[in-house]
């Protein structure tokens, strides 16, 4: 399966959110430089806790604030929101190539989003020095993505190189 060979549809950022969420995300963007962006993002989260727009905004905010544990929590929540949309197993470790190959064409955009979100989880684990978990995530992605469309192979190679140099 080529993860680039599909027509994008159902993009998460095109989805409607609860009333006021878009405005709260915009407010957070305006207040970022002044250090007051977290409150409107959390208000947006409480209005719409399953909104991928909110979860992605929280992930970005926490990542750029170097609050990696919080970024990881937002990203794990996003994965949990995407998973039922694509019918994948609850535990990503149980994901098989057959799940991707049998996914209906209508959800291929969400399949890619799921895989990129899983990659972000692996990256955050790597930054948090949870190298075993990070390696497991990257290995799973490489197993599923033979053409490396998600780009996990380079991260897996980097992680392995760092482990060799640290030994």
Q: What is the CATH number of the domain that holds 50?
A: 1.25.40.10
Give the structural domain span for 23: 12-166
Is 4 a domain residue?
A: no
∠ CA 40-43-46 to the nearest 5 degrees?
A: 155
Is 7 a domain residue?
A: no
Helices of type H across 87-107: 97-101
- Least confident stretch, 110-119, 122-131, 157-166: 157-166
Residue 67: its pLDDT value, please? Answer: 97
**CB-based burial of residue 60 (10 Å sphere; 0-12 exposed, 13-18 middle, 19+ buried)?**
middle
Give the number of domains in the chain. Answer: 1
Residue 108: its pLDDT value, please? Answer: 87
pTM score, whole prediction = 0.88
């Amino acid at each position: 399966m080529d993860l680039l060979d599909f027509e994008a549809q159902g993009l998460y950022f095109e989805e409607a959110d609860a009333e006021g969420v878009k405005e709260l995300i915009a407010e957070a963007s305006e207040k970022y430089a002044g250090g007051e962006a977290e409150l409107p993002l959390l208000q947006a989260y409480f209005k719409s806790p399953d909104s991928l727009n909110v979860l992605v905004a929280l992930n970005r905010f926490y990542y750029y604030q170097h609050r990696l544990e919080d970024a990881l929590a937002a990203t794990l929540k996003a994965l949990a929101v995407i998973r039922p949309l694509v019918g994948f197993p609850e535990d990503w470790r149980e994901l098989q190539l057959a799940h991707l190959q049998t996914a209906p064409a209508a959800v291929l955009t969400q399949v890619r989003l799921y895989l990129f979100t899983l990659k972000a989880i692996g990256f955050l684990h790597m930054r948090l020095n949870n190298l075993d978990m990070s390696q497991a995530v990257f290995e799973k992605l490489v197993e599923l993505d033979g053409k490396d469309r998600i780009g996990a192979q380079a991260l897996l190679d980097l992680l392995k190189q760092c482990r060799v140099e640290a030994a």
